[in-house]
Structure formats: structure tokens, C-alpha cells
Amino acid sequence: MKVVYSERHARHDPQTFLVRGVIQRNAEQPERALRLLAAAQAAGHPVEAPRPIGLGPAQAIHTPEYLDFLQVAAREWATLPGSGPEVVPNVHPARYPATYPKGLVGRAGWHQADTGCPIGPHTWDAALAACETAVTAAELVLAGAREAYALCRPPGHHAFADMAGGFCFLNNSAIAAQHLRRDHARVAVLDVDVHHGNGTQGIFFERDDVLTVSIHADPSTYYPYFWGHAHETGTGKGHGFNLNLPLPMGSPDAPWLEAGDKALARIKAFAPTALVVALGLDAAASDPLQGLKVTGTGFHAMASKIASLGLPTVLVQEGGYLSDDLGHNLVQFLAGFDSGRR
């Protein structure tokens, strides 16, 4: 399987991560992409750089105000008296009607959902490179490839049309799905990350041309908390075109794969002609975020099931954090996908 990868991701090295009131080193580190790349190369998958595509695909998903904020935030933040090295908001408009602010501190609170998405001097360049990585993989599929793997970093599925969150800035999976819509009337997005793909859900929640399905740890007690519950099925034209399959914390392979069967049944009923897989490897038993307990064997089996759909598929890297099994689990997933195609 062809792998699309950009070295530009490595300049984004976020430091801030607030966990239960304690500031820690951010879990979304450059090394995770380097490990994934090394594992894919060792398994014989060819690698190519993304094409310089520019802002067009991101503009098809994200609002102008948000894209402007991402591009200027770090530079303007550095001019504020007493500012820290990263843009981290300390005030948010919450759930009530609000007015879009002019000042950067207010705009940061408006556009950053949490403290897991600090913006540094090179965040925008890395996020744009990740977007171009996803779009290049989608273009490979549009050109006739059966599948392609976008090794994106930073990830994207927590990013809404106008809001970053959970390590994510541009929604690479949603951007890839929208790009596939150029030639496909119906596209499905299947998210297997341990966290619900809340940004992707929000982007397509009122649409019936993109089906969104997410298998994840129960958000009642796990990030993103406010989204990902089973009753969220879409609104307006999108009613019935969003399926959430939350699992109890610590679920192992069997219930995860059973949820996969339900997801695939819904996708078959939707009858898309192309698929995006938001590939989170953080459902792994060895992942430091400890939401689910999926093994390498489980990843292989899930990938084989997905590949059996026979759809042109873009795999977009989402979560998966530093552990000794990270690269192994990717190789298992890619191998399982290959076996399911046969």
C-alpha cells in the first residue's frame, strides 16, 4: 500500500497538555509519526511526499475565520505582553450565545476547545502538510488506486469546521471525504480511533451524502465527553446518517470487532462508492491513553473486515501514541487490509 508522508510534521512539537490540573508533556509527539513511518517502510510499503495542494481542500470544510486564526495565532500571540511559548486559551464562550471577539485571547478561546491543542510557531505549517497528505492519498484513490494510507500528523478528527481540539487542527479525514465527493456521490467515514470523531460528526451532521460511523470508548467518562453518544444520529437531511457505537472502557478485541460488524452493516446499507477510515491506533491495549484493550490481532481482523467491503479506501492516520506496539499495530492493520482485499 502506498504511504503518503510529510517531514514537515516534525516541526510541530506541542509541549502543553493539562491532565486533571497537572501540566504534562503533550502526548502528540513527533516521534509517533517517525515510528509509524519506520514500521511501514520496514514492512515494504512505498512512501511518497504529498503534493503542494494549498488551502482549497481545507476551505471546503473549515470556516474562513478559523483558517485565518490558525495562520496568524502563533505570530500574534508572541506579541502579547508576558505570553508563553504556545497559544493556550484560558477563556471559552461555553454553550451560550456569544459574539465573535476581536482580540487574540478571545479568538483562541473561541477556536480552541481545550488545552490539548496548543499552537506553536510551526503548527500551521504542520497542519497544512497533514491536510495535503490526506488530499494526496485521496487523489491517488481518485486516480484508480484501490487504497492509500495518509500518515497524517497532527491528527484531525476532533477538529470541527471552526474549532480545534484534542491535538487536532484541520480535519484530515473530513477533508479527504469531501475531496472524494468530487467523483463519488456517497462517501462513508469509519472512525476506529479510541476517541469519538466529534469534529467529523459535527462537520457532516446535517448531510446525507457522507455517512459517519465511529467506534470508540464510551464518552460518558472519556474524551471528548460531550459528543459520541448513541442517540446522536444526525439532524435535518442528516438524520440517520451518523452512527455512534460507544464501548465500555477497557473493552478487548471481541466487542470491538462486534461493533465493527454493526458499522460495516450500516455502511453496506448506505451503499457508498468510496470510504475513508479514520485510523486511530490508540485503541490498543498498550496505548498510554488506556481507553480500550485491542491487540495487534484485533487490528488485523478489523482491517480485513473493512477491506472486504471492496471500496476504494483512504486510510487517514489519527491517534496512536508512544508505545512499543505502535508500529507493530500499524503493520498488522495494513497486513489485515491487504488480506481482506484478496
What was the pLDDT predicted at 342? 75
| Residue 316, beta-bridge partner list | 150, 278
What was the pLDDT predicted at 95? 81
pLDDT digits (tens, 9 = 90+) for 242-259: 999 999 999 999 999 999
Output DSSP code: residue 243: E
Omega of the bond prior to 224 within 30 degrees of 0, cis? yes
What was the pLDDT predicted at 93? 93
**Which sign does the torsion angle of CA 164, 230, 226, 323 carry?**
negative
Let me know if 12 is a catalytic residue. Answer: no
Structural domains of the chain, with CATH: 3-50+123-341 (3.40.800.20)
> Strand, coil or helix: what is 145?
coil
What was the pLDDT predicted at 252? 98
The label of the residue with cell 484501490 reads: 146
Output DSSP code: residue 119: B
Choose the catalytic residue: 9, 158, 196, 328.
158
Q: Where are the alpha helices (DSSP H) in 189-325?
A: 198-204, 253-270, 296-307
pLDDT digits (tens, 9 = 90+) for 33-43: 999 999 999 99
Among 170, 150, 167, CA closest to 57: 170
Collect the ranges in the chain with pLDDT lower than 70: none
| Residue 16, beta-bridge partner list | 25
What was the pLDDT predicted at 94? 85
Q: Which amino acid is at 171?
A: N
Q: Are 212 and 189 in contact (CB under 8 A)?
A: yes
Say how far apart CA 122 and CA 17 lie, in whole Å. Answer: 17
Residue 35 makes CB contacts below 8 A (sequence gap 6+) with: 322, 326, 327
What was the pLDDT predicted at 73? 98
Residue 206 makes CB contacts below 8 A (sequence gap 6+) with: 234, 235, 236, 237, 238
By DSSP bridging, strand 147-150 and strand 313-317 are: parallel
Separate counts of helices (H) and strands (E) for the chain:
10, 10
Say how far apart CA 128 and CA 9 lie, in whole Å. Answer: 9
The label of the residue with cell 482580540 reads: 103
